[in-house]
Amino acid sequence: MRRTPRDTEESFRRVSRRSLLLSGAMAAVAGVLALRMRYMQGERADEFRLLAEENRISIRLIPPARGQIFDRNGVLIAGNEQNYRIVMVREDARDVPAVIARLRELVALDDAELERALREMERRSPFVPVTIADRVSWEALSAVALNAPALPGVAPEVGLSRIYPFGPDMAHVLGYVGPVSDYDLNRLDDPDPLLQIPRFQIGKIGVEARLERLLRGTAGTRRIEVNARGRVLRELDRREGEAGADVQLTIDHRLQNFLLARYGEESAAMVILDVTDGDILAIASGPSFDPNLFVRGISVADYQALMAHDHRPLADKTVQGTYPPGSTFKMLVALAALEAGLVRPDETVTCNGFREVGGRRFHCWSRGHGRVNLHKSLVESCDVYYYEMAQRLGIDAIAAMARRFGLGERFDLPMSGIAEGLVPSVAWKAERRGETWRVGDTLNASIGQGYVLASPLQLAVMTARLATGKAVVPRLVKSINGVEQPVPEFADLGITPNNLRLIRRAMEGVVNEGRGTANGSRILAADKKMAGKTGTSQVRNITAAERARGVVRNDQLPWNRRDHALFVGYAPMDAPRLAAALVVEHGGGGSAAAAPIVRDAILFALYGEIPPLAAYPESQRARIRTMFETLPVLERIRPGSGASRA
């Protein structure tokens, strides 16, 4: 069909409009591209030039600040200090030996540490920084920073390292931190990438280990740009991590320090509890050690010296050590007999110095106490009375009462290696030893010997329960990040009140009556008087031949064959606030070696300072004054490190 001139004109108009629109669109796109090219070639030229030179972005973890630990009064007992170190990234260094050689010209490097670092470098990812030198001086750090272009892959860093301001005083409670080891990685089910950072420190023992996740915090990250030679050009961005939680313990650091000073050269362990809430005010094992040595890397010589010491300074005797409780166990046997109705308080047993059972003699520590009732049996610590009670009760009844008072229980505290102790029974001996329980086993158990074992912590809990009639449970953590931890309501033990009163009255007599075994450690201050019980546990058998010719005195025996000395007590006796238990390893008698230390510690805790001489019997004051004047320094505080967090 032939097109008309009008149709032709209309078609031309439409094509022209489309051409204009298309041309406009093409021009717009070209303009955008031109502007983009100008932006990239101008404003971002440097950035793309760096990328063209094979620069890359590296993401590195920022270790968080470890949470600090304070005592009950807010005094810092575990904190952080600045630490200068030099690290190397193997991938960036390329020629590691050459870089190390240049670094040696600037900084003195320890051969052993360097060897360890090189081994670590081979095991880790080539992009992971490895510490080459730790705790370097500011001058060394500055030298590395100034010579950075000649040291590819090497970087100076400022970090934080753990410090324990009171050194040995808190070693067994706090423990210490150390670098993550292969053993730690295999033992811990912990995916935290921080653990993969070489030389990253985690808690090894004690509170540091048990509260590790709380104290560690969470990592931050930083994105850095490095050039082809590994030199850091700039930090692109940073996300700070979250510091670990601050923890406040129930410990009073001054009381803790006093205990260790008061032990002197003895191998001893003592626990002091607040009976109202279970707070552990002091839990000191002596001798101790300086945990700062382990943080910095203890020398072989120092470690061997600690291991070889016969007083075992690395062991925490307060919770890991278990000992025959000796006569401190007698209160529980007496209570079991009273509760079972098997003895009257005024009923007497005759003590001639021994009891013969099954053709074997079981001796009393004395040659004979004569006629003994319950009160006198505790005040003068007659063994024969408890042999009689043991025959009436049987071991299972005794064991049930012991467990009621916390023996044989592993308390849930953030400390390492807490021992369960041992409360034996008929079933226990059959299962563990494949033997029949014998009457002689029961007699030995009744005076805290034989198979019975308890830690100082358990004996302190036992004493707190005797003082209150409540199921007191110890606690070590007072608050976390300022939030007070709940104190449980202690259940009543269900012991007949009059029976508990009889036991407490006898414990008061042990210290305050003339014939009491701890009368020499009495307190004169009326509102601070103490009740307690001495104990002596044998660590060797005394043969019949030795008894016939005369038992060898403790001070004539080698140290490690002497008896353990024990004392448990509470004060004030009319309104108990504190309960304490002390074991002096191979100390001899409880009345001479243990009771005086407990008296001094309780007085220090009640007064809050060195007690006044007026609290002591007049005949002892000159000796007590001299002792206090010659005690080691009572506060081992490094300058500026013992400040309160308030």
pLDDT given at position 229: 52
- Label residue 637 by pLDDT band (50, 70, 90): very low
pLDDT given at position 53: 44
Residue ranges covered by each domain of the chain: 64-249, 253-629
b (16+ CB within 10 A) / e for 557-573:
eeeeebbbbbbbbbbbb
What is the CATH code of the structural domain delimited by 253-629?
Answer: 3.40.710.10
- Label residue 359 by pLDDT band (50, 70, 90): confident
Distance between the two ends of the chain, CA-based, in angstroms? 102
Residue 356 backbone phi and psi in degrees, to 5: -100, 125
Q: Give the residue with greater pLDDT, 117 vs 20.
A: 117
Q: What is the C-alpha separation between 140 and 568, in angstroms, rounded?
A: 55
- Per the rule left: phi > 0, alpha: psi between -120 and 50, beta: everything else, 589 is beta
Query: How far is residue 379 from each of residues 167, 203, 501, 584, 608, measured CA to CA in Å?
Result: 40, 46, 14, 21, 30
Lowest mean pLDDT among 10-14, 565-569, 613-617: 10-14
- How large is the average pLDDT for residues 122-146? 80
Query: How far is residue 343 from each of residues 374, 411, 524, measured CA to CA in Å?
Result: 9, 32, 34
pLDDT given at position 52: 47
Please check the confidence at residue 625 and state whether its pLDDT lies above 90. yes
pLDDT given at position 540: 63
pLDDT given at position 548: 55
Mean confidence (pLDDT) of the chain: 87
pLDDT given at position 609: 92
Q: Give the residue with greater pLDDT, 634 vs 575.
A: 575
Q: What is the pLDDT of residues 203-237, one digit of tens each?
A: 999 999 999 999 998 888 777 776 655 556 676 77
User: Which H helix or E strand runs over 151?
Assistant: none
Please check the confidence at residue 304 and state whether its pLDDT lies above 50. yes
Query: How far is residue 140 from each of residues 35, 146, 199, 230, measured CA to CA in Å?
Result: 50, 10, 20, 21
Give the CATH number of domain 64-249; options: 3.90.1310.10, 3.40.30.10, 3.40.50.12780, 3.30.160.340.
3.90.1310.10
pLDDT given at position 337: 98
- Label residue 80 by pLDDT band (50, 70, 90): very high
- How large is the average pLDDT for residues 163-190? 88
pLDDT given at position 262: 95
Q: What is the pLDDT of residues 365-391, one digit of tens each?
A: 888 999 999 999 999 999 999 999 999
pLDDT given at position 9: 64
Please check the confidence at residue 297 and state whether its pLDDT lies above 90. no
What's the whole-model pTM score?
Answer: 0.84
E runs forming strands in 578-627: 578-584
Q: Give the residue with greater pLDDT, 267 vs 32.
A: 267
- How large is the average pLDDT for residues 279-292? 96
pLDDT given at position 612: 96
Q: Give the residue with greater pLDDT, 454 vs 359.
A: 454
pLDDT given at position 116: 80
